[in-house]
Amino acid sequence: MPQLTVIVASTRPGRAGAPVARWLAGRVTAHGGFDLHVADLAELNLPMMDERNHPRLRKYEHAHTKAWSAIVDASDAFVIVTPEYNHGYPAPLKNAIDYLVQEWAHKPVGLVSYGAVAGGVRSAQAIKPVLQYLKMIPISESVIIPFVAKHIVDGEFRATPAIEESATAMLDELRRLEAALRPLR
């Protein structure tokens, strides 16, 4: 079964991303189309880019980079769970992406964005050119969560039926596209 890695982009204490990612992990498991791996950037704790060589060379010196490379390389598809900070995506996400190059190529990616009134849409749109440059395929089907704080009760994310439906549509499309892109990897 293909491996789907859910990347939790926020590293802030008390972040909404952790409960959203736990909910999504449950959705991925229930979907049944993927083996699940969760890569929480707060737990990975990658320092700001500290590799001497350009990542396209894959001459990594540090254990944290080698471990991150192995996670991304083993993945067949991704979902990025990201907040919107000041109309953009969080710095730890950009840093984690920039550590690698080849490992990202020809893999589909779904976006789960959250925030206030805009639901993190600007964050999702801002990251797409970066993903496309790395030869990833961002899909149109996404999950947008406006007023995320209203959906978190006792530390657990409570999705609306519309959010649940959008998650199913995103996972279905990731599965289809992952299979189509597999020969390129």
Query: Using one digit for the tens of pLDDT, what is the confidence trace for 94-133?
Result: 999 999 999 999 999 999 999 999 999 999 999 999 999 9
| 136: Cβ contacts below 8 Å, ≥ 6 apart | 78, 104, 105, 106, 107, 108, 109
Query: Using one digit for the tens of pLDDT, what is the confidence trace for 38-64?
Result: 999 999 999 999 999 999 999 999 999
| Coil/strand/helix, residue 118 | coil
Could you tell me which of 165, 135, 157 has the C-alpha nearest to residue 81?
A: 157
* Average per-residue pLDDT for the chain: 97
Tally of CB atoms within 10 A around 43: 9
Percent of the chain residues topping a pLDDT of 70: 100
Q: How far is it, in rounded angstroms, from Cα 36 to Cα 51?
A: 28
Quote the pTM value.
0.97
